Amino acid sequence: MHTETERNRLITIAKRFSEKQWMLGTSGNLSLKLQADPFEMLITASGPDKGQLQAEHILRVGLGAEVLETSAYKSSAETLLHEAIYKAFPSVSAVFHVHTLAATLLSTQQDTHSLTFSGLEMLKGLGQNTHECQVNVPILPNTQDIKSLANVLASQLLASTPGFILAGHGLYAWGESVEAATRHIEIFEFLFQLRLAELSLHAEVSIATGRACVRK
Ligand SMILES: [Zn+2]
């Protein structure tokens, strides 16, 4: 199968996300589905700097994270989560995973199983028809037992939200095209940064109010 174009697409996106500091320290992984039956996808290899990927760093992988070509590189354990997402949503053709500061911070500071956003124009970028909607982003507990998580992942996801956060770890997002998955990662990250800014603003207001009370 000729996959040079697809490999280059993943390399370009990895570079773009790396420049935004979303794939630091070789973290994260990006995949796109080549075919559903038998299942095959391309996914970034574990190890190389995501900002400097070459074609050899993009692996052709089948069911169970089996690498389908001779390679010096391995696919990451998280490859099984990509596969689980493609299985859960057959129309999805790209799955992206990044370790962003905002997703990591929000998922560890808030004692909640999801982040909720409403009334924002940017929510339309996640497939909503209007800003007058509510989007819940699931936060799942992080684990090193990726195989077990992959087995139950489908039951934890929302058909209406193309993404989730692994607590203290990072963001997964997907789409029916590479462009849609890219857009979803960027929109989620905007929402998370917005939430951090809101929390910071509220903290400043409460400190200022506290000072005002003391002055009285
Ligand atoms: Zn990760």
- The pLDDT profile of the chain, 216 residues, written as one tens digit per residue, is 578 999 999 999 999 999 999 999 999 999 999 999 999 999 999 999 999 999 999 999 999 999 999 999 999 889 999 999 999 999 999 999 999 999 999 999 867 899 999 999 999 999 888 888 999 999 999 999 999 999 999 999 999 999 999 999 999 999 999 999 999 999 999 999 999 999 988 887 777 777 655 544
CA of 110 to the centre of ligand 1 (A): 20
* Per-residue pLDDT at 216: 43
CA of 81 to the centre of ligand 1 (A): 10
Q: Are 90 and 29 in contact (CB under 8 A)?
A: no
* Per-residue pLDDT at 90: 96
CA of 132 to the centre of ligand 1 (A): 32
* Per-residue pLDDT at 201: 87
* Per-residue pLDDT at 206: 75
* Per-residue pLDDT at 161: 96
CA of 95 to the centre of ligand 1 (A): 12
pTM over 0.75: yes
CA of 109 to the centre of ligand 1 (A): 18
